[in-house]
């Protein structure tokens, strides 16, 4: 079974695309089950996620803000961009290519 923790990287930034509300709820549920929360210690049950979240090397998540959204859209070989819906359904093409 694929987990959020399997996506942690110390080499590159990890951005997770949560394209719709169902995927956001799935991510929140999975994060709760794995004990993943926000960097300030707040649980995902207490603060909703957004359409793109960053996964930190220490196993916490955070919002991107405007600068993070810029990085998400222009990152070239500096970040992993994950389609969480594809990742959780077992698809092999869950990495979002740099040209999209």
Q: What is the DSSP string of 40-71?
A: TS--TTTS---SEEEE-TTS-EEE-HHHHHHH
pLDDT 10s digits, 73-88:
887 788 999 999 999 9
Residue count of the chain, please give it: 100
- The pair of structure tokens assigned to 32 is 């709760």
pTM beyond cutoff 0.95: no
The count of other CB atoms within 10 Å of the CB of residue 79 is: 19
2-28 residue pLDDT tens: 999 999 999 999 999 999 999 999 999
């Amino acid at each position: 079974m694929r987990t959020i923790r399997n996506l942690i990287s110390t080499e590159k930034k990890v951005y997770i695309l949560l394209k719709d509300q169902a995927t956001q709820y799935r991510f929140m549920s999975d994060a709760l089950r794995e004990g993943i929360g926000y960097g300030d210690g707040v649980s995902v049950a207490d603060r909703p996620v957004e359409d793109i979240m960053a996964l930190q090397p220490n196993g916490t998540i955070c919002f991107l803000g405007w600068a993070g959204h810029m990085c998400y859209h222009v990152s070239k070989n500096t970040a992993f961009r994950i389609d969480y819906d594809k990742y959780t359904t077992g698809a092999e093409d869950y990495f979002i290519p740099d040209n999209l």
